Structure 1
Amino acid sequence: MKFTDGYWMVRDGYNLQNPVDIRDVVQKDDSFTVYAATKKVEKRGDTLNATLLKATYSSPMPNVIRVRLNRHAGGVKQTPEFELYGSETNVQITNNDELLALQSGELKVSINRNTGFASEFHYGSRRLTGSAFRRAAHIEHKAAGKTYFREQLDLGMGEYVYGLGERFTPFVKNGQTVDIWNEDGGTSSEQSYKNIPFYLSNKGYGVFVNHPEKVSFEVASENVSKVQFSVEGETLEYFIIGGENPKDVLDNFTKLTGKPALPPAWTFGLWLTTSFTTNYDEETVNHFVDGMSERDLPLSVFHFDCFWMKEYQWTDFEWDKDVFPDPAGLLKRLKDKGLKICVWINPYIAEKSILFEEGMENGYLLKRKDGSVWQWDMWQAGMGIVDFTNPAAVKWYQGKLEELVDQGVDCFKTDFGERIPVEDVVYFDGSDPVKMHNYYTFQYNKAVFEVLENKLGKNEAALFARSATVGGQQFPVHWGGDCSSTYESMAESLRGGLSLGVSGFSFWSHDISGFEQTAPADVYKRWVQFGLLSSHSRLHGSDSYRVPWLFDDEAVDVLRKFTKLKNSLMPYLFNQAAESAERGIPMMRPMFLEFPEDPTCGPLDLQYMFGDSILVAPIFNEQGDVTYYLPAGTWTGLLDGQTKQGGRWYSENYDFMSLPVFVREGTLLAVGSQDSKPDYDYADGVTLHLFGLEDGKTASANIIGLDAKTVVEASAVRSGSEIKISVSGGQNVKLVLRGISEVSGVDGASHEAGEQGLLLTPAGGSVTVNL
């Protein structure tokens, strides 16, 4: 939201007051509060009929500093608030005639008393940002009867801002206005399903604005050297989050707001859905499932979209008996084929649903101010909305889901959660409707996730969720919403996923080949490549089926190759997933996150790192042309074995069976013995591929089992012409030295030259190779 007219003027109707003159400081053991007048106080009379603004500095955990700006503190406290998870921290406070400072870990905020009200933030000796003189402001719009607080933080030259949720606009947010307000707007506009008031800077810090309601960001737009953020009301609270690098910042941000759960291994396989408005019954479902098996296309999850329930009755959680007369039998027959089952749900109860009257009578649905149920016809006729602030409503809703789990359902696609009203609506617990608009999705997805944890176990719970707010990363997986079947929409989906990833969300998916319309065969095949080299992989659409043989014969081959490739990479991917969950970093990483020291990586959004070692550059045109950048070092093509030197751009052409997928040097890549499913014993028959280890360097690889416990530890050390490889755990482990065919000697293993390099079969726990 903009309050100024150019650099000098204030917009008509607005009155800005800045904290200018520090009048007092109140220090406590773990915080201090600065009281600042909004004009220079020259005499006692200047203290009358004047505003006094307050700024409180504290720390909820090491390397995180909280800033709370406030004018009037007497307002009624409104809920909800984000759930935050602090930890014990020892702060150091300096308070003398010249300097105010608070330090938490390596992060420090300082205010020079002699230069007016202005703050600076440092991590160690590195300056991160600051709020310059006359940047923080309390703002009144008297005609509208509203007040606001804003802050403006410095942007350095060459500094890029990322994140703010799943945004489909340009990946670098500089120059953009971003409103944190969940909307069902597809993937082709500035609206977003997942709005997160957190941004990450390529300079190695983050800013989290702790408000569930609408937060308006002006990123190098209203003031091109600042990031401005504002909220309506008398208080603004934000956190500066520090770290050694951008990954550490995300680690600290998710320590504060919640770590992602680790999805079960089966979720990383291929998902196939009925699509949205298509006609389907058990015969159709079996045709798809059996067709995949007959074509040797590994399938892990089958999803039933909306019309598993009868039209006009969403949501009633009952199978349409006219189409599925034996749902329990159907689910058993599908599960006997080795499939997991997902079904579509949402938090809306249509008036024709058998649950509507029950929900209305018991107060489980949102109400209007006159006590009636809040209803409208957008989506389902006469629908009401479940009030998740009512514990009894949560229990009621969860009870319906538990019945489905008992039938054999393994996962829920939690659709919607964005169209939440703010006018003429009353919540059971008195929550503020404006604050609840974004926060609703947290309560919705949490309620569903808890059902799966309680019924199936914590290691088996997974959603397929569309909407999110801060903390929603704890309930993976999330997908990108309604995209179109074009290359442009494929690219905007990638931008959205990368932006969400640097907003604290580790696991993300998208509708392969696009949701709206039906993709031409070339788009389908290129999107399949991208989709199977994503965290999670789902074939889904709106009004047509997405099985590959309906596109062309080559589409079957492409889907087979890349599904099997992903399954074979699961020893590597599941370990990366565990690390992502532990640290709050994304599996699909923008290039700057892995290479923060390389300025070329800063704006890149058409390629990404898949974990820490594999680079992927999807292709966005029918011709197969692609231009991509390799950072410094030696890179080896995972699909063709060719090596390339980094620090430069490449322009090439690829057929539909390939694309740029490169492994960085110094990688010990674990490749599994199976490619028919994603969940298997990764330690049995695993092959460790060593890529380009330099003298004096070490490579390592851990393999974890399906219980997320380490089962294999491996390392490789090079000294001169000697490489020593140690392996602990596993069965039938093999080693491959990529790009090497001849050596002068091998100790501790039998060896032979293979197509990919030197194949080693260890006789014991260590192998020494002389090059």
Structure 2
Amino acid sequence: MEKNGNSLIFKNQTIFYNDRPILSYASDKTFAFIGRGTEQVKMYRGNFDIQDYVESRVPLNHFEIAETNEAITFNLSSNGQTQLLQIRTELDKFGRLVLKLISKDKTYNRLWLRLPATAQEKIYGCGEQLSYFNLRGNHFPLWTSEPGIGRNKSTLTTFKADTQDNAGGDYYTTNFPEPTFISTQKYYCHTNSFVYVDFDFRNPEFHELQYWGIPESIVFETADTYNQLLGKLTNLLGHQPILPNWTDEGLLLGIQGGTQRTYDTVDKLRAAGVKIAGVFCQDWEGTRQTSFGKRNFWNWEWNPALYPGLDTKIHEWKDEGIRFLSYINPYLVDTSALYAAAAKNGYFAKNSDGSIYLVDFGEFNCGVVDFTNPAAFDWFKELIKTNLIDFGCDGWMADFGEYLPTDVVLFDGSDPMIRHNEWPALWAKCNHDAVAEAGKTGQIVYFMRAGATGSQRYCPMLWAGDQSVNWSLDDGIASTIPAALSVGMTGMGLTHSDIGGYTSMHGNVRSKELFMRWAEMSAFTSLMRSHEGNRPAENFQVWDDDDAIQYLAKFTDVFQRLAPYRRTLVAENNEYGLPVQRPLFLEYENDSVAYDIQYEYLFGSDMLVVPVYQETQTDWDVYLPDDEWIHLWSGQEFHGGHHTVAAPLGEIPVFYRKKSEFRTLFTEITNQKYSNY
């Protein structure tokens, strides 16, 4: 059958969609299994221990096929007995292949589906993956959670985090998982479900997709190029909006400590030439001290004791070109006034006995605003409109979203085991609707670390989460690169990270060099924002060092000068689904080396960025696709291949295409007389 130029045929015991084998059945190769299982889920401060006892796994080794002009239907059973699963394959009105799955026996809650694969095939996406970009050779449980500290079981940091805090994480733990991937066979696969899944890409002959439930449908689409494929994927998932132009004006300075400290620090940095677009004061509602470090007081309204006069100062700063950004998350501490108001109206998720379910966020307890309750959703949306937007905030960190416990009782009676992975998208929608109803779309930017299917249309900016303040591959500066690339291949093309990292635990302390390397990388991303970290007093802060201030001034100037180019990239993301930070093969499909590069990226189509992610380096190895490249700092011309280039502090390896229409803009940066470091 054909629709909109797309074809679906069944031959040689295989379903082919646009010549790609999608389901393949032979007498000795079962492609689907159904079963029953019982999971055990334990949460400790956003970290999850998930175990499964598989009670049965039944091979669906017998099928009957019904083929019509509209669909090809598999009726699957075991050994020709009672039908256990139906898979209806059809082309929708857009020409997408849709697999609709139906099980009449609701006691079956496990499904394993195998898709044909080749040994040479590579896989990308699955949300934000921080340890691997090419996912082939590993399996990926997809469950939103704290990513953990260290994220590598062979490191001392992770060992200490596991043994002392149950918080070490692993290579697959992430704030933003999504059951969506792109194959080098040039198709995407997206599952319409929020159930727990484990996508296994280890077998050379098939990909095994495990679901803890029967998903509603699985969607496929193909294209001739990866750029076209991303366009089709974002047409399905949604497009991120255009960023406000003011975000291009410089750094969003992360600072805490009150009105006067903020004003004095901004004044000092601007006098030294640092371009500042806004201040991000996450403690605007007050603070508390815990063993983890400095934390916010989770009551989402201005604290005049810590920030006196902010209600007027916020408007004065805006007149001076400084926007104010605050902080919020979808939980309320049980000692706050807003908690009391929400409790009175029944806006929190409950225990089975009807009492409010309290979650331990690290030495303080919070209620979970129940977004399945329309009244609670609207109340929190109005809180954002009144306490943030009407107050004068031009943006905020919309934090968390991963902590929905699996044993809560929700207002609408839905299963929290399924709602858990959806929760970040509901949280994003709450922010989105508040901004839209206030008439501020395109003027306000909020950034989130948690994500899910739907975040693409509801979240204007992602950030990579709480990296450790170190050089580790899995949880330091390097991890933000595959994070951006993987989430970009999942339709989320605007992302950034905390300059200098955030988490200072188990002996990790931010150094001046780490901050500087992170800052120079951030100048070539969608947004440039710093953070003091969880233990500000113990870690390097830029305003304490005159040399670092001059360094930051250079790269905020570079960031600002790149505004015309960056706006073009942001528009491409909005219209075509092309991420701002792109894997090399997106523009160089015939370059076989490019498919395994995960620690450098294209900044749009015309710039190539190779961050230095090891300390005390003065030279750095780079790979350039076959093209004519100009080194941004020296103006020297390079051609494709492997090169070792000078990379002292202040000269992150960056190249631009010689034939770029933005060459004049890039040359202006080359000709600037910046200080040497």
2:447 corresponds to which letter in structure 1?
F
Maintained 8 Å contact 2:128/2:175: yes
Alignment of 1:50-129 (within 5 A): 50-72=82-104, 75=106
Maintained 8 Å contact 2:349/2:357: yes
Match of 2:283 in 1: 306
Query: What secondary structure, in the 3-state scheme, does the structure 1 residue paired with 2:468 have?
Result: coil
1:164 corresponds to which letter in structure 2?
C
Structure 2 CA distance, aligned partners of 1:387 and 1:394? 7
Q: Does 1:542 align with 2:534?
A: yes
Alignment of 1:180-579 (within 5 A): 180-186=142-148, 188-189=150-151, 190-220=172-202, 223-235=203-215, 237-275=217-255, 280-306=257-283, 308-311=285-288, 314-379=297-362, 381-403=364-386, 404-423=388-407, 425-474=408-457, 475-488=459-472, 489-517=476-504, 518-540=509-531, 541-544=533-536, 549-550=542-543, 552-579=545-572
Structure 2 CA distance, aligned partners of 1:642 and 1:688? 13
Cα deviation for residue 561 of structure 1 reads 1.6
Query: What secondary structure, in the 3-state scheme, does the structure 2 residue paired with 1:398 have?
Result: helix
Maintained 8 Å contact 2:284/2:326: no
Maintained 8 Å contact 2:496/2:528: yes
One of 622, 628, 632 as aligned partner of 2:626: 632
Structure 2 CA distance for partners of 1:755 and 1:299, relative to 1, 3 Å: closer
Maintained 8 Å contact 1:210/1:237: yes
Structure 2 CA distance, aligned partners of 1:313 and 1:627? 41
Structure 1 residue runs without a partner (length 5+):
1-6, 42-48, 76-144, 672-686, 690-735, 740-753, 757-771
Cα deviation for residue 313 of structure 1 reads 8.3
Q: Does 1:642 align with 2:636?
A: yes
Match of 1:655 in 2: 648
Structure 1 CA distance, aligned partners of 2:659 and 2:296? 56
Cα deviation for residue 581 of structure 1 reads 1.3
Query: What secondary structure, in the 3-state scheme, does the structure 2 residue paired with 1:227 have?
Result: strand
Structure 2 CA distance for partners of 1:188 and 1:249, relative to 1, 3 Å: farther
Larger radius of gyration: 1
1:335 corresponds to which letter in structure 2?
K
Cα deviation for residue 196 of structure 1 reads 1.0
Query: What secondary structure, in the 3-state scheme, does the structure 2 residue paired with 1:368 have?
Result: coil
Structure 2 CA distance, aligned partners of 1:358 and 1:327? 24
Query: What secondary structure, in the 3-state scheme, does the structure 1 residue paired with 2:390 have?
Result: helix
1:498 corresponds to which letter in structure 2?
L
Structure 2 CA distance, aligned partners of 1:158 and 1:625? 33
Structure 2 CA distance, aligned partners of 1:362 and 1:566? 47
Match of 1:164 in 2: 126
Structure 2 CA distance, aligned partners of 1:69 and 1:558? 56
Structure 1 CA distance, aligned partners of 2:596 and 2:219? 25
Structure 2 CA distance for partners of 1:536 and 1:60, relative to 1, 3 Å: farther
Structure 2 CA distance for partners of 1:616 and 1:24, relative to 1, 3 Å: closer
2:501 corresponds to which letter in structure 1?
G
1:637 corresponds to which letter in structure 2?
H
Cα deviation for residue 398 of structure 1 reads 1.9
Alignment of 1:4-15 (within 5 A): 15=56
2:612 corresponds to which letter in structure 1?
I
Q: Does 1:23 align with 2:64?
A: yes
Structure with greater contact order relative to length (CA < 8 Å, sep ≥ 6): 2
Structure 2 CA distance for partners of 1:357 and 1:308, relative to 1, 3 Å: closer
Structure 2 CA distance, aligned partners of 1:245 and 1:453? 34
Q: Deviations over 1:588-631 (max 9, x none)?
A: 01112221221100110111000111101111232222111111
Structure 2 CA distance, aligned partners of 1:65 and 1:357? 49
Maintained 8 Å contact 1:452/1:462: no
Query: What secondary structure, in the 3-state scheme, does the structure 2 residue paired with 1:407 have?
Result: coil
1:630 corresponds to which letter in structure 2?
L
Query: What secondary structure, in the 3-state scheme, does the structure 2 residue paired with 1:602 have?
Result: helix
Q: Deviations over 1:35-66 (max 9, x none)?
A: 23433x5xxxxxxx534431101233535211
Structure 2 CA distance, aligned partners of 1:216 and 1:429? 27
Matched residues, percent identical?
A: 25
Q: Deviations over 1:502-547 (max 9, x none)?
A: 1110100101111123422221111111111111111112222788
1:159 corresponds to which letter in structure 2?
E
Cα deviation for residue 307 of structure 1 reads 5.3
2:536 corresponds to which letter in structure 1?
S
Maintained 8 Å contact 1:63/1:243: no
Structure 2 CA distance, aligned partners of 1:688 and 1:566? 11
Match of 2:139 in 1: 177
Maintained 8 Å contact 2:251/2:275: no
Q: TM-score, normalised by structure 2?
A: 0.81
Q: Does 1:33 align with 2:62?
A: no
Q: Deviations over 1:269-301 (max 9, x none)?
A: 4344445xx6x1211101211011110100001
Q: Deviations over 1:688-737 (max 9, x none)?
A: 97xxxxxxxxxxxxxxxxxxxxxxxxxxxxxxxxxxxxxxxxxxxxxx9x
Maintained 8 Å contact 1:288/1:547: no
Match of 1:623 in 2: 617
1:591 corresponds to which letter in structure 2?
L
Structure 2 CA distance, aligned partners of 1:552 and 1:493? 25
Query: What secondary structure, in the 3-state scheme, does the structure 1 residue paired with 2:357 have?
Result: coil
Query: What secondary structure, in the 3-state scheme, does the structure 2 residue paired with 1:62 have?
Result: coil
Query: What secondary structure, in the 3-state scheme, does the structure 2 residue paired with 1:229 have?
Result: strand
Structure 1 CA distance, aligned partners of 2:450 and 2:249? 22
Query: What secondary structure, in the 3-state scheme, does the structure 2 residue paired with 1:668 have?
Result: coil
Structure 1 CA distance, aligned partners of 2:215 and 2:434? 36
Q: Which moved more, 1:235-244 or 1:308-317?
A: 308-317
Cα deviation for residue 15 of structure 1 reads 4.2
Maintained 8 Å contact 1:201/1:246: no
Structure 2 CA distance for partners of 1:26 and 1:226, relative to 1, 3 Å: closer
Structure 2 CA distance for partners of 1:64 and 1:24, relative to 1, 3 Å: closer
Q: Deviations over 1:632-659 (max 9, x none)?
A: 121112222111111x100122221212
Cα deviation for residue 241 of structure 1 reads 2.0
Match of 2:165 in 1: none
Structure 2 CA distance, aligned partners of 1:24 and 1:390? 43
Cα deviation for residue 210 of structure 1 reads 1.7
Query: What secondary structure, in the 3-state scheme, does the structure 2 residue paired with 1:306 have?
Result: coil
Maintained 8 Å contact 1:193/1:467: yes
Structure 2 CA distance, aligned partners of 1:150 and 1:318? 47
Query: What secondary structure, in the 3-state scheme, does the structure 2 residue paired with 1:400 have?
Result: helix
Q: TM-score, normalised by structure 1?
A: 0.72
Structure 2 residue runs without a partner (length 5+):
1-28, 36-52, 152-171, 289-294
Cα deviation for residue 178 of structure 1 reads 0.8
Q: Deviations over 1:196-229 (max 9, x none)?
A: 1111123321111221121111111xx3432211
